[in-house]
């Protein structure tokens, strides 16, 4: 369905450039994503045990289908959020580029070969480079996109170098063949295969902004449009983290696990401590993202079934909470000036009380307050670390959660109780009408309801994740 959408957009955009505005392309792309979601849900039961096609280049399991459905939902939300009032000023190519990005992410999830994973990653990355540079009139946005492109190309070179080194050792790039080879061979930290794994993990950890490969993230997130920042935070992490999960399952190696545990500690600490001194909202959320990536990498480093369940569940709930927060920020923004500083969120409760309630609930979920869904996700990660004896990671995660909670509570304090500060540009309409469409209001309310009502029957989703992992 996505390929049909690409062909349709490639033909329609040049032929109808002066007659059809960007809003109609956005509607068509959203319909394509919705149909893809329905198709994905309908084939979940068909993938029982997993399906390999194209000589095992592609492997489809229940878990990959679930993550693909999440990608399609995130893609449709990003499309609907961009220029929500339907103005024709947005680039017509935006919908096509978003579809390319989602297709790349979907191919990453289903790939069962290192070369296929690399090519899919590049397809997604090139689309994100273009999206990051959509605001061509903004010098800061162009600088951020160039920085993102150069450093992204550097990380891609590391990945390709690692794939080449592993190919010289194993004679194959198939994950199935290399898994069989590794099970019968001891991989040392200084062997060719071990060196190749280091390069591959370094490249992919850069793309998800894990420490110490995180320096690009705050600058890029700060200088790109809000909806683009939402895409950069959610889309690559869903697909690449799932790919790392697949690679880690195939390359179970003690040295790799120890390295991932070290990366998780550094990400958790840097994200929690550095976020304390931030006054710019997007930089703060960037370091918050680094902190949560540390929790996800901790699940990868443990490499057991319980941590696998915790990883998938953590990615799902974090993506949902993050999307709600970013859509709420778009609602706070006036037409003339975005929300850049924490002080710009003052008086938000008096203007958008319902949206403020949603963002507060999402922040509570990210903090991990019981009994919201975020608490269950963090508890799963911490419980897995205790079971595996990773007590250092457990203590660091506990302390960082307390530290990071302070700046989340600071945001809530500013939103709910601070009445002064910088004034947002107001009109009689903008006081009562948010800067999002009714469809986005439904998205925020549905996501918030899921976060709140999950505590009533949490076993359904958790059991579904456990069953989907059995197909890997």
pLDDT digits (tens, 9 = 90+) for 210-262: 988 888 899 899 888 888 888 899 999 999 998 998 888 877 677 788 889 99
The CA distance from 380 to 306, in Å, is 8
pTM recorded for the entire structure: 0.87
pLDDT tens by residue, 299-355 = 998 876 667 788 888 998 899 899 988 888 887 775 556 788 888 888 777 777 788
Across the range 136-156, mean pLDDT stands at 86
Averaged confidence pLDDT in the chain: 80
Q: Are 296 and 241 in contact (CB under 8 A)?
A: yes
Question: What's residue 305's pLDDT?
Answer: 63
Q: At residue 84, does pLDDT exceed 50?
A: no
Q: Are 27 and 5 in contact (CB under 8 A)?
A: no
Which residues neighbour 302 within 8 Å (Cβ) at sequence distance 6 or greater?
Answer: 257, 261, 384, 385, 388, 390
pLDDT tens by residue, 1-57 = 556 655 665 555 555 655 556 666 777 777 787 887 777 777 766 666 567 777 778
Q: At residue 161, does pLDDT exceed 90?
A: yes
> Residue 78 — very low, low, confident or very high, per pLDDT cuts 50/70/90?
confident
Question: What's residue 421's pLDDT?
Answer: 45
Residue of 204 and 59 predicted with greater confidence: 204
> Residue 123 — very low, low, confident or very high, per pLDDT cuts 50/70/90?
very high
Q: At residue 83, does pLDDT exceed 70?
A: no
């Amino acid at each position: 369905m996505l390929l049909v959408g690409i062909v349709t957009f490639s033909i329609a955009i040049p032929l109808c450039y002066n007659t059809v505005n960007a809003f109609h392309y956005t509607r068509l792309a959203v319909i394509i994503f919705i149909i893809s979601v329905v198709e994905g849900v309908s084939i979940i039961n068909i993938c029982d045990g997993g399906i390999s096609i194209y000589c095992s280049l592609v492997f489809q399991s229940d878990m990959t289908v679930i993550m693909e459905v999440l990608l399609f939902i995130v893609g449709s939300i990003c499309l609907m959020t961009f220029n929500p009032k339907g103005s024709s000023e947005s680039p017509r190519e935006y919908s096509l580029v978003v579809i390319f990005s989602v297709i790349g992410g979907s191919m990453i999830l289903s790939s069962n070969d290192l070369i296929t994973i690399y090519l899919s990653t590049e397809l997604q990355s090139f689309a994100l480079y273009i999206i990051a540079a959509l605001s061509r009139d903004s010098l800061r946005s162009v600088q951020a996109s160039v920085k993102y492109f150069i450093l992204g190309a550097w990380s891609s070179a590391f990945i390709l170098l690692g794939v080449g080194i592993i190919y010289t050792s194993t004679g194959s790039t198939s994950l199935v063949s290399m898994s069989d080879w590794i099970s019968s061979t001891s991989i040392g930290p200084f062997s060719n295969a071990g060196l190749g794994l280091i390069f591959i993990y370094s490249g992919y950890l850069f793309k998800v902004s894990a420490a110490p490969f995180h320096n690009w993230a705050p600058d890029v997130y700060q200088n790109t449009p809000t909806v683009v920042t939402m895409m950069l935070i959610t889309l690559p992490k869903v697909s690449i983290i799932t790919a790392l999960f697949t690679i880690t399952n195939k390359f179970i190696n003690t040295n790799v696990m120890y390295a991932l545990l070290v990366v998780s500690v550094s990400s958790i600490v840097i994200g929690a401590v550095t976020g304390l001194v931030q006054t710019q909202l997007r930089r703060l959320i960037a370091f918050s993202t680094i902190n949560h990536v540390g929790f996800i990498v901790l699940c990868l480093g443990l490499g057991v079934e319980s941590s696998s369940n915790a990883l998938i569940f953590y990615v799902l709930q974090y993506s949902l909470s993050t999307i709600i927060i970013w859509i709420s920020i778009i609602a706070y923004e006036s037409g003339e000036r975005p929300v850049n500083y924490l002080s710009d969120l003052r008086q938000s409760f008096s203007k958008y009380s319902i949206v403020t309630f949603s963002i507060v609930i999402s922040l509570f979920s990210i903090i991990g307050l019981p009994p919201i869904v975020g608490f269950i996700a963090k508890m799963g990660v911490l419980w897995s670390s205790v079971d595996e004896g990773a007590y250092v990671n457990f203590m660091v995660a506990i302390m960082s959660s307390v530290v990071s909670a302070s700046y989340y509570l600071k945001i809530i304090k500013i939103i709910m109780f601070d009445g002064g500060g910088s004034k947002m540009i107001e009109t009689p309409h903008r006081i009562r009408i948010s800067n999002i469409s009714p469809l986005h209001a439904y998205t925020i309310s549905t996501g918030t309801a899921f976060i709140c009502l999950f505590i009533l029957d949490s076993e359904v989703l958790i059991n579904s994740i456990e069953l989907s992992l059995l197909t890997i």
